[in-house]
Amino acid sequence: MSLFGLSLGRLIEALCCLPGVGPKSAQRMAFYLLESNREGGQRLAQALLEALDKMTHCQTCRILSETDLCSLCADSRRDHGQLCVVEMPSDVQAIEQATNYAGRYFVLMGHLSPLDGVGPEALGMDLLAKRLDTDQIREVILATNLTVEGEATAYYISELAQTRGITTTRIAHGVPLGGELEFIDSNTLSHAFQSRQHL
C-alpha cells in the first residue's frame, strides 16, 4: 500500500480488525472515507474515541454502560426476583425489544470455553453467585445461546442456582439449534422466551 503512502496502509490494516471486514472491503472503506466522506471519517474517529473512553461495564450486571450502575439495574420498577442470564449485551437488547420481560439481567460476556481458556472466573460467576446469595431471586432465566457452549454454560449456572434452591428456567427450543440470539427474529425470540421450561 506504499503506493499511496503509509498512513493509508495503516488505516486499511486497522479497518481489517472489524468483524466481517477483509483487506478488500477495508480498502474500499478507506478510499470512501478519504475520497467521499471525510466528515464521516472525522465523526467516526471521534465517536470511537469517545465510546472507548466512556463505555465501561455495569458493576452489578456487567452490561456495557457509561455509568457504574446501568440504566436497567438503576430502574427500581424492575423485578429483583427474576434474573435473566445472557452471553452478550446485544442479547439484552434483543430481549428488551422482543419481550415484555421486566426483571433483571446478568451478562456473562461470553460462554464457558475451556479450550480457549474461558472458565467461570472470566464470566463473572463469582459475582453471579453473590447475587444469587443476596438478591432474593425467585427465578433464574437461562438465555445463553442454544449452542454447545451456551448449553454447557446454562447447565453450569443451573447448578449454581439449584444448590441454592432457586427455580431455574431455560428459554424454549424455538430458536434454531446453533443459532445466535441477536440474529433471531423478534417473534421467534418472544415465543421462545414465553415458553421457557423448568430445568
145 burial level (CB within 10 Å; 0-12, 13-18, 19+): buried
Give the residue closest to Zn ion by C-beta.
58
Helix (H) or strand (E) holding 187: helix 186-194
- Cell numbers standing for residue 54: 466512556
Q: With binding defined as CB under 5 A, does residue 128 bind Zn ion?
A: no
Spatial CB neighbours of 48, under 8 Å, sequence gap ≥ 6? none
What is the x/- site pattern for Zn ion, positions 68-107, by CB under 5 A? Answer: --x--x----------------------------------
- CA separation for the pair 175, 195 (Å, rounded): 11
User: Rule CB under 5 A: is residue 140 a binding residue for Zn ion?
Assistant: no
Residues that bind its own copies (CB under 8 A): 2-8, 10-11, 13-15, 17-20, 25, 27-35, 37-38, 40-55, 63-67, 70-72, 88-90, 92-93, 96, 109, 182
Size of the site for Zn ion (CB under 5 A): 6
The three cell numbers of residue 163 are 444448590
Q: How far is the CB of 165 from its own copies (least distance, A)?
A: 32
Closer of 168 and 190 to its own copies (Cβ) = 190
82 binds, among Zn ion, its own copies, none (CB under 5 to 8 A by kind): none
Q: Which does 118 bind (CB under 5 to 8 A by kind): its own copies, Zn ion, none?
A: none
Q: What is the DSSP letter of 181?
A: G
Angle at which helix 125-134 crosses helix 148-162, to 10 degrees, equals 40
Helix (H, G, I), strand (E, B) or coil at 117: coil
- In whole angstroms, how close is the CB of 48 to its own copies at the nearest point? 4
Interaction of residue 58 with Zn ion, rule CB under 5 A: yes
Report CA-CA distances (Å) from 155 to 41, 85, 119. 45, 12, 14
Which residue number, 27 or 60, has a Cβ lying nearer to Zn ion? 60
Q: Where on the chain is the footprint of Zn ion (CB under 5 A)? A: 58, 60-61, 63, 70, 73
